A and B are shown apart, each in its own frame.
Chain A
Amino acid sequence: MTARQPARFLGKAAGRLATMGPGFGFLTVFMLVPLALVLSYTVFRRGRFGGVVYEPTGENFTRLADPLYLDVVIGSVKLAAITTLLALLLGYPTAYLIAKLPARWKVIALVAVVLPFWTNFLIRTYAWIVLLNSEGPVNSGLKALGLEPVKLLYTDGAIVAGLLYAYLPLMILPLYSAVEKLDPELREASANLGARPARTFWSVTLPLSLPGVLTGCVFVFVPSLGNFVIPELLGGGRRIMVGNLIRDQFLKARDWPFGSVLALAVIAVLVLLLFAQAWASRRAGRGA
């Protein structure tokens, strides 16, 4: 036993380095360093005409306390949360059924999910504008049925629809990955023990696929918060989201220091979210 230990230790370290070394090495150079560069602006000042002046100051942080920004964040979180919930309600059944398809159809079904996204985001958004506006097919259809046209465009509902459309594949693919591996025997065992399908789902299927659910939720929630094109084009600029806030500071006000502080605040909250997801996933993994 003792003779094997040094070899095993070497194996473990080598295993760590081989698997995580390249990835984290790459991320350190091309993500952590650039991120540190941008976040370093938080303690400096905006130059009179833009750019960064390297004189330390804490004023960017005190500006954060303004209730205006909290209002925007709360509004964004509401819409992003609704989008995530809808994505889960649509995405889980879809991923589940794709996983049950015969192998030949699985590929086609998966590709069919992402194929629309091999066109262009702006074109798809403009297509939604065509669909939703008062002259578009939806309202024309309503009018043909003798119903009142509904104001669909330039509403919060349009924003949610746009966000849901943009990020649904990011829910479906991780879910598929998690659901596909589930051992059907477990579900059969549960059924044989007398559990009804709903019970099997809640007690067996869902907990086992939880890592995928959590990943999918994070992947939909986070970019929904940060998107700035959809609130402008589909929401008519009537509501701004966190993404618009950050974009406006960096690009319009050319206030990189304050933009960094806003970004830092948002990232800090999202990192907490990531930790929560990682913790929950590992717990679910252990329980399996």
Chain B
Amino acid sequence: MTRRVPVVVASVCLASALTACGGGGAATDSAPTKLSASADLSKQSLTISIWDGYSPKDLPERVKAKLGFDTKVAIHDTNETIMAKLTAGGDSGIDVAFVSGQYAQALNAQGLLEPLHRDLIPNLSNLYPEASQLAYDKGNVFSVPYTWGTTGLCYRSDLMKTPPTSWKDLLEPAKDVKKKITMMTTERWLALPALKLLGASVNTTDQATIDKAKELLLKVKPDLLAYDDTTFGDRLKSGEAVMVEAWDGWCPTSEKNIKFVVPKEGSDLWADTMVILKSSKNKEAAHAFINYILDPEVHGWVPANILYRIPNKAAMEKVDPKLLESYPTLAEAPSELLKGESLVDLGEVSTAYTRLSTEVSAAQ
């Protein structure tokens, strides 16, 4: 027994020493490094982290052909897991990460991102002007949006007597849809319908408002089928659910009887963005990559193949009109989309939203 104590003490001392080392690393200089436009890219290589299926399968080959360097594609399943990996500090081995806007904001606030060198990304001019005014990163200082969209109600038009028009239809469900609706579990999107119904901002930090939202969510819980972030599309297709809270790109509107609507009280504007890590050793390649993505031919892959909207004006204008006919959401003018409130990171108040989601999930 006594033999153990010295070892435990030693490991605690070692751990404290390591913590001190780790802590020092957090305060990094946020001034951009000097990058050269004529750097030899063939000497660099790129590792990106992105959601599965979110980019063309042959992207590495095309990048190699056009720009001359190797690209490795790592995949992550959620914002949260890639954030934890990047926040652990040190060199994660990732050069360009695809994360949602408010998470990019948080990464930047922690000094982990490289400010973008705009002279290396001339294709930024392809974006809609509004895409450079998004609240989490005005002026695209550290991020470039890749896709954008909103959250709304995805429903079976054949199984609902009247189509939904308001968040109230979800939170105070009619008798015939009770037990056939789902809501999302991620706390910002769990709170969104309630906050919007109360007329509040999706970025509210007012605890009283958050509590009122909680009441609404607790009231509807018994009438829900489930909280679902990933399989609600299948629930809808099988008819188990008739109305679900969903992101526009996830709603399977290719099915005959499934439609998407943004409730009249309004909704959010989410954006998935590309960021460059400060720890990257291939910053010129990273910039060249982002510039390549913004090329209308390349970026156009997204709406054409996975039916997501992109903030690239030049690319959207080239989308096949037949596609726009079949998928009205794609055809929606950006001005409609931009009525949504851009999600921002809420700093300390983030924990209040996590608590909200814990209380709602734990209630029996």
- Is chain B in direct contact with chain A in the complex (CB below 8 A)? yes
**Residues in A whose Cβ lies below 8 Å from that of B87:** 50-51, 254
Instruction: Say yes or no: A129-B226 contact (C-beta < 8 A), given A28-B7, A48-B347, A49-B345.
Output: no
Bound state CA distance, A255 and B345, in angstroms? 14
Decide if B333 is an interface residue (CB 8 Å cutoff).
no
**Residues in B whose Cβ lies below 8 Å from that of A93:** none
Q: Could you mark each residue 341-364 of chain B with 1 if its beta carbon is under 8 Å from any beta carbon of chain A, else 0?
A: 000010110110111011101101
Closest to B13 in A: A36
Decide if B231 is an interface residue (CB 8 Å cutoff).
yes
Closest to B77 in A: A122
Q: Could you mark each residue 222-255 of chain A with 1 if its beta carbon is under 8 Å from any beta carbon of chain B, else 0?
A: 0000000000110011111000110011111111
Bound state CA distance, A176 and B80, in angstroms? 40
Give the contacting residue for B185; candidates A37, A154, A237; CB below 8 A: A237
Bound state CA distance, A10 and B295, in angstroms? 74
Give the contacting residue for B80; candidates A24, A238, A251; CB below 8 A: A251
Decide if A188 is an interface residue (CB 8 Å cutoff).
no
Give the contacting residue for B228; candidates A51, A133, A237; CB below 8 A: A237
- Contact assessment for A37 and B351 in the assembled complex, using a CB-CB cutoff below 8 Å: no
- Contact assessment for B364 and A237 in the assembled complex, using a CB-CB cutoff below 8 Å: no
- Contact assessment for A250 and B362 in the assembled complex, using a CB-CB cutoff below 8 Å: no
Decide if B36 is an interface residue (CB 8 Å cutoff).
no
- Contact assessment for B18 and A239 in the assembled complex, using a CB-CB cutoff below 8 Å: no
Decide if A205 is an interface residue (CB 8 Å cutoff).
no
- Contact assessment for B238 and A75 in the assembled complex, using a CB-CB cutoff below 8 Å: no
Instruction: Say yes or no: A254-B83 contact (C-beta < 8 A), given A68-B358, A238-B227, A244-B361.
Output: yes
Decide if B221 is an interface residue (CB 8 Å cutoff).
yes
Closest to A134 in B: B240
Bound state CA distance, A189 and B225, in angstroms? 57
Bound state CA distance, A135 and B238, in angstroms? 8
Segment at the interface with A among B46-54, B104-112, B257-265 = B104-112
Decide if A72 is an interface residue (CB 8 Å cutoff).
yes
Q: Could you mark each residue 65-90 of chain B with 1 if its beta carbon is under 8 Å from any beta carbon of chain A, else 0?
A: 00000000000001011011001000
Decide if B186 is an interface residue (CB 8 Å cutoff).
yes
**Residues in A whose Cβ lies below 8 Å from that of B133:** none
Min CB gap A11→B, angstroms: 17
Give the contacting residue for B12; candidates A24, A36, A75, A129; CB below 8 A: A36
Bound state CA distance, A245 and B147, in angstroms? 31
Bound state CA distance, A180 and B337, in angstroms? 66
Min CB gap A64→B, angstroms: 13
Decide if B35 is an interface residue (CB 8 Å cutoff).
no
Decide if B19 is an interface residue (CB 8 Å cutoff).
yes
Give the contacting residue for A37; candidates B18, B83, B84, B362; CB below 8 A: B18
- Contact assessment for B110 and A37 in the assembled complex, using a CB-CB cutoff below 8 Å: no
Bound state CA distance, A233 and B227, in angstroms? 9
Give the contacting residue for B364; candidates A54, A239, A245; CB below 8 A: A239
Decide if A114 is an interface residue (CB 8 Å cutoff).
no
Interface residues of B in 168-204 (CB under 8 A from A): 182, 185-187
Interface residues of A in 62-80 (CB under 8 A from B): 68, 71-72, 75
- Contact assessment for A240 and B83 in the assembled complex, using a CB-CB cutoff below 8 Å: no
- Contact assessment for A46 and B351 in the assembled complex, using a CB-CB cutoff below 8 Å: yes
Decide if B306 is an interface residue (CB 8 Å cutoff).
no
Instruction: Say yes or no: A33-B11 contact (C-beta < 8 A), given A236-B225, A254-B87.
Output: yes
19 further A-B contacts with Cβ under 8 Å, apart from A68-B362, A236-B182, A253-B353, are A33-B11, A36-B11, A37-B19, A37-B22, A48-B347, A49-B107, A49-B345, A50-B87, A75-B362, A154-B225, A233-B231, A236-B225, A236-B227, A237-B226, A238-B361, A239-B362, A249-B354, A251-B81, A252-B186
Contact sample, A vs B, 22 pairs, CB 8 Å cutoff: A32-B8, A33-B14, A36-B15, A40-B19, A46-B348, A46-B351, A48-B347, A49-B106, A49-B110, A49-B347, A68-B358, A68-B362, A72-B362, A133-B238, A154-B226, A238-B224, A240-B362, A248-B354, A250-B84, A252-B187, A255-B350, A258-B351
Q: Which residues on A are within 8 Å of B, measured CB to CB?
A: 24, 28, 32-33, 36-37, 40, 46-52, 54, 68, 71-72, 75, 129, 133-135, 153-154, 232-233, 236-240, 244-245, 248-255, 258
